[in-house]
Structure 1
Amino acid sequence: MSLIMAPPLPLVFLLMIHGGFSDDADWGVSYSPSHICALKDSSVIMSCTYTYPTGYQIMKVFWTKGAVIKGEEPPDLSNDPEYSQRLQYLGDKQQNCTIRLSHVTLKDSHVYYFRFITDKCQCIRGYTGDPGVTLTVTDLQVESPERVTEGDSVRLTCKSSCTLTDRATFIWYRNSQPLTERRDRNNELLLQSVRREDAGRYSCAVHGHNHISPAVQLNVTYPPKSVSVSISPSGEIVSGDSVTLICSSDSNPPAKLYWYKGGTFVGSGRIYSISKISSDDSGEYKCRSINEHGEKYSDTLTLNVMYPPKSVSVSISPSGEIVSGDSVTLICSSDSNPPAEIRWVKGRKFVGSGRIYSISKIRSDDSVEYKCRSRNKHGEKYSDAVTLNVMYPPKSVSVSISPSGEIVSGDSVTLNCSSDSNPPAKLYWYKGGIFVGSGRIYNISKISSDDSGEYKCRSINEHGEKYSDPVTLNVMCELMIVQ
């Protein structure tokens, strides 16, 4: 850019003029525009023209910056390491003094002047164009609210420290991705009815320029959504296992989490753990997620705890006294998961299966212990035994004589009545049709011929009565024979 200069003359012959020489009308520098606002890292064109009287020869042209001090030659920016690689002279040695300054930085904000030096009559005259070009270099900053609530409208502004000289078309980015190639003619981005998906780091740029503003975080707050409950471990749950319920919730700010079983509060936090789970822990669980903007419940999750039979018992229907000939139903109750297989035991023998065991026309032979066995794949359990106490009238009534054999007067004889009944029967003795005594045993001491005859026992309870077959006592005078 610099021209070859004539040998330097003493400084006393150098004349610095800020308004021209004696013929001011023929000297001048014109800048258009005189104020430039440029974006950081862009290229700036400083348009410039100059005039000088006819007959002068241009010895040197250059640009300088800062205030011009009378009596001192201003520095040539093309010799400044900070400018030499970025400054390009686009003018000539006649009228055009335009330059391009590339990759401008904030430190390049100065007033710049064009200066030319002429040679006339073996003296050097220099002219510096005043007022120069004021260059302001700006970067971009995004101005945005730090936090907005879902549904609000939010306005983001791409700000610069000065109004850009070139007409600017702004581009907006979210998380480094352009917003659908959006190129607004103004420097504002309006998000109407903001959504949680709009949260992110926003930055802006000017179309055609590389400079992108620092990103600013937009934080969108919203009530809980997508609240769900998962269980670990998955699969079948058996009593004694340890189980963890995990609540997931999408919200901003993070929600507080509460656990409910049915409608009862049971805990708080993201995780609800149950160690050594039991059948009592079976039921419906849900998680409540709440923050300052709202709340939401998860769908219910059912804990289905598998366990072996317990609380196995037998009930009798109808309840109360059981009389032979009645119909009786035994019912087995069992708490288990999955439902158990039920089998019935009479004494030590399996006699049936299913929850109900029915006996129609019950007999005295059925007066034994019954119990049910409840079994599933996790274990088995027997009920306590129940005894069917069947009431029935006397049966099998018989009389025996002791001693057996011939009966002789003077002997002692005992008649013994046997009777099967429930409840136990009362026993009465008859000789012929005449009542002679009661009780299981009828004794005759020193029997005589008068005691000869037919004897029988009558057995009676609340359900009926029965006589034994008669037995004949034949008392011998000398030798009594029982016939």
Structure 2
Amino acid sequence: MSLSSTGSVLVVFHWSLTVVLGQGDWGVTYSTQSICVLKGSTVELSCTYKYPSGHKVTSTFWFTRKYTDGNPVNLSDDPDYRGRVTYRSDEKNRHTLIITDLRETDSTKYGFGFITDQPGGKWIGQTGVALSFPGLQVVVTGGYMKNLTCRTTCPPPINPNTTYIWYKNGQQIDESSSPQYKDPIYIHYKDSYSCSVKGHEDLHSPTVCVQGQACNRVTYTKRRICVLKGSSVDISCTYVGYYNVTSSLWFSPKQSGRWRDKLIPEDLTTDPGYAGRVEYPDQESTIYRGTSTLRITDLREEDSAEYRFTFKTDIFGWGHDLPGTTLTVSDVQVKMTPVTVTEGQNVALTCITSCPLTHNPTYIWYKKTVTSPKASGQSYSITNITSEDSGEYYCEVRNGRGSMYSSALMVTFAGKQTSVLTASVGITVVVLVLILCLSGYICFRRGDIYVFETKFHIYTQM
């Protein structure tokens, strides 16, 4: 029987043998167990890996977390790292993960995995490299004259061109290449100090009092917040004034172009872009200290900005230079993997936002024309997809004081292309047979072979 014969069936038997290999045949060695880097910068994490002879690596990936079934989430597909991850490898089984625009949420452990072309050829070890960000702190030493030093909680890569920025009572006062403040200072109970690194001003130390705990200072409850468009958000802080506090307000440096004087912040409640959407609930204060909350409702994507608090006393005003709380307002989208679907494939739908939501979000999946929810969780899997699974899917995210629906994503079913091709070839052969037979040829069939005879020629169709 010819393999090209129409209607013929090819049966192939696959024999497999599972071999349990010792741990010594597999492994990943990381170049370091921990690394300390600055937010906003780029980091490279490297490893080397080994596997038994006779295997060929078909897939490599880095991960930080696993789904409930134990399979890791490839960082290049993880919505939290979208557009920020690059892989690099060489012929010596060395693999490097490159992450750009590092964020606070990237502080975690990273692991490497790979898959080979043999049955059971998968290595998914434990996460191996811990990535952390240096926290800054001002260390105060000395007696009546105090020395101030800006120190990190973990040592980042040394940069000889590092510039330290110093703040006094919220106002920038000095820049220096030395982590130590230029001169010893006298004790002033009202004064607080903070430091940061130039180019990374959002990474600043907590404000500390030179003496005692009654100095001027502002402390934000959260430095970064991510919430859904259309919802509301509370941004809070506590403050201490050495003298009697007379007034306070919230402002956004992003809106400085609308201020009458760009050096004097204006109350956000007077900004026309926030008209009817800003209030200060839950204000609690005594003469010298208090808590303040900025509430923004009906959030829009253009509300993504940094928000700061300032206050005035009888003889003093808190500076405007220290960063406050950064708010990101996100929409919701659905991503499908793979993009093209054929019968029998597994499909993963993921509900993604532009930033990790601050409050613990709840995800619910729906399919149009189906009344009840399909599933819950950030990802929804369709296994062995068939034409019955075709349709529009969307997710709902519930977070904090709001919820949001994504736009619907159409999951279409392409079917089996091989079946379509086989049917097309079969129909063509039948039509050809009919044409030849009706044209005066002598037609007969020998098994799977059609024979067409004329007076002078014999044509054989396999």
Place the TM-score, normalised by the shorter chain, in its bin: 0.3 to 0.5
TM-score, normalising length: structure 2? 0.41
Query: Relative to total residues, which structure has the larger strand share, 1 or 2?
Result: 1
Task: Work out which structure has the larger RCO, using CA pairs closer than 8 Å and 6 or more positions apart in sequence.
Answer: 2
TM-score, normalising length: structure 1? 0.40
Query: Relative to total residues, which structure has the larger helix share, 1 or 2?
Result: 2
